[in-house]
Amino acid sequence: MKPAPFRYIAVRSLDQALELKAEHGDEARFLAGGQSLMPTMNFRLSQPAVLIDINPLAQCAGVQKAGPETLRIGALTRYRDLERAPATAENLPLIKEALPHIAHPQIRNRGTIGGNLAHADPASEMPAIVLALAGKLHAQSKRGERWIAAADFFAGALRTALEPDEMLTEVELPIARPRSGACFMEVARRRGDFALIGVACTVELDDHGRCKEARIGLCNAGDGPIFAVAASRSLAGQNIGSAEIDDAAALVQRDIDPGGSIHASKDFQRHLAGVLTKRALAAATERAKA
């Protein structure tokens, strides 16, 4: 046995899960896919007193249309099911493109979108994607429920806006619109490893082919998932060509603060962020025109 002792409770209902979290607060952790939590418990980096297993809550998994322009994804939806859902390929091309980069097939068989977002690893792909898509996250507790904009949800490395008694239950994402394009790219040392740098971007064009809105998210580029505000804004209203793309990439490089590691220095990460931003923006713009 590797983890420190804890009390394990497999819940039968969402109410029971929220009840337990209200009772135990920060002493308790939700166990979803467990693909990030279990390694930290095996190393005893995290030692929750209570583990609330939400895997029995089938109602918390699945992808459905919430309206003509939005999809809602249950927090317990596994990556593998997202990969296979026709709704992903059709409506969420950015996620479709990113999924093969997220760890390995065995990890995607268990890992969930909600567990990943609540874990808020700065190097993880999905937080950057949800920022690029301007998603919304649904939190529930015994006290009530609320929607949190992605930009307000992430609060730094492994930190979120969730209160100790709250559970992330759903993610709402916009369906890809006509004349919009998206692209995800990352550089990792090996397939499935954490990205040295990853870039997720969306570009929406107006009737004249000018950029209506562009959004650029980055992973492993600082103390938390990054939304590149200045670079994204610089593209609005522009006819996106190589000069505009170069300027946006320079703004990304200026504004990020990558941590550097034994595998990639800060300078190399910044270099990669520039290169990937250019390539991803060019691809997303082409796709928006197609």
Q: Is 86 in the site for another protein (CB under 8 A)?
A: no
Q: For residue 275, which phi and psi values (nearest 5 degrees)?
A: -65, -45
Number of residues lying near another protein (CB under 8 A): 31
Nearest distance from residue 102's CB to another protein, in Å?
11
Provide the angle, in degrees to the nearest 10, between the axes of the packed helices 242-255 and 266-289. Answer: 140
d(C-alpha 264, C-alpha 76), whole Å: 33
Among 25, 43, 67, 152, binds another protein (CB under 8 A): 43
Among 8, 65, 159, 241, binds another protein (CB under 8 A): 8
> Would you say 75 or 133 has its CB closer to another protein?
75
Question: How long, in residues, is the chain?
Answer: 290
> Would you say 37 or 205 has its CB closer to another protein?
37
Q: Is 62 in the site for another protein (CB under 8 A)?
A: no
Q: Is 51 in the site for another protein (CB under 8 A)?
A: yes
Q: Is 259 in the site for another protein (CB under 8 A)?
A: no
Q: Is 77 in the site for another protein (CB under 8 A)?
A: no
Q: Is 1 in the site for another protein (CB under 8 A)?
A: yes
Please tell me the number of Cα atoms within 13 Å of 205 on its side-chain side. Answer: 20
Which residues 6+ apart lie within 8 Å of 218 measured at CB? 128, 197, 198, 199, 200, 225, 226, 228, 252, 256, 273
Among 32, 85, 103, 182, binds another protein (CB under 8 A): 103
Q: Is 198 in the site for another protein (CB under 8 A)?
A: no
- Six-digit token pair at 209? 């082919």
Please tell me the number of Cα atoms within 13 Å of 206 on its side-chain side. Answer: 10
Q: Which residue has the tokens 């249950």?
A: 74
Residues near another protein (CB under 8 A) are 1-8, 10, 31, 34-35, 38-39, 42-43, 51, 53, 55, 80, 100, 103-107, 109-110, 190-192
